[in-house]
Amino acid sequence: MLQFDERTTRLLEEAYLGADFSRRRRASFDALQPKPGDVVADIGCGNGLLTLELSRSIGADGKVIGIDPSDDMRGAALKRCAHCSNVEILNGTATHLPLDPASADKAVSLQVFEYLDDLPGAVSEVKRILKPGGRFVVGDMHWDTTAWFSDRPQRMKTMLDIWDKHLVERCVPAVLPPILRKAGFRVDSVTAVPFASTHLHPDGLANMMILLMKPFAVRKGEVSEEEANDWAEEQVQLAKSGRFFFSITHFVITATMPD
């Protein structure tokens, strides 16, 4: 599993301000349809970027409750939202939300469910805290959609296989809708948000993955530091020669509690 420690928090703090990540947040924001006065649970709020954006939308009469188990991430979120009187940042997980039953109008979770080993338990917990008619939005990658060019495809496959070990469920967009329906939710939509680039943007999703994957693969002991560096350097050189290609699809799942 990927550890959301101080180093990772610093890296994500910069990357999440980039265009690719802003687009992901916007997709979840639009699906959630926040309204003035809403009480919104931001599950796995991380460094609080979506939390802050939601706080502006729901106004002084609403409330955004950011929930995250990482001390470092919560610290970043608290700092980012320190001026927001309508934001509260709490310690908790998707399967143990520190909220009362039927206390939230809406809930959102952006790239969190792929790290959970109990998706039905998390869905049940969200159902508990939502009011009747409440909206639930989950944004996650479908990692089977990854296409990443390399002149050494077997090495790329090795790196991606190692990267799979940083999460629990790599196909959340495929497996979550049936779980939601079984729990009593109505699944309103499953919307694809594709990302594809022929440039290695410093603020892009591919570059962030390179920065995370290199040390992760080495820590796992499955490739040497030299091998990981060579893999990353190949992508830099491919970009310089106009041969870089990376693609993956993010999905936004929107569901509603029955009235």
Residues 194-250 pLDDT 10s: 999 999 998 899 999 999 999 999 999 999 999 999 999 999 999 999 999 999 999
Q: Which domains does the chain have, with CATH numbers?
A: 6-256 (3.40.50.150)
On whether the CB atoms of residues 122 and 113 are closer than 8 A, the answer is yes
Question: What are the angstrom distances between the C-alpha of 6 and each of 72, 75, 137, 154, 206?
Answer: 6, 10, 28, 32, 21
Q: In this model, does residue 77 exceed pLDDT 70?
A: yes
Say how far residue 169 (Cα) sits from the centre of its chain.
13
The angle, 0 to 180 degrees and rounded to 10, between the axes of the packed helices 153-163 and 205-220 is 80
When pLDDT is averaged across residues 27-39 and rounded to a whole number, the result is 98
Pairing of strands 246-256, 130-148: antiparallel
* 124 Cβ contact partners less than 8 Å away, ≥ 6 residues apart: 183
Four-CA torsion 36, 38, 41, 42, nearest 10 degrees? -10
Give pTM, 2 decimals: 0.92
The per-residue pLDDT for range 46-56, each reduced to its tens digit, is 999 999 999 99
Are the beta carbons of 244 and 149 closer than 8 angstroms?
yes
Answer whether residue 2 shows pLDDT above 60.
Answer: no
Question: Position of tokens 């870089």?
Answer: 244
- Average pLDDT of the chain to the nearest whole number: 94
Distance of CA 226 to CAs 158, 208, 212, 214, Å?
Answer: 14, 19, 16, 10
Over range 138-151, report the average pLDDT: 98
| Cβ pair 94, 129 in contact under 8 A | no
Give the per-residue pLDDT at 34. 98
Identify the residue with better confidence: 23 or 13: 23
Half-sphere CA count of 71, side-chain side, radius 13 A: 1
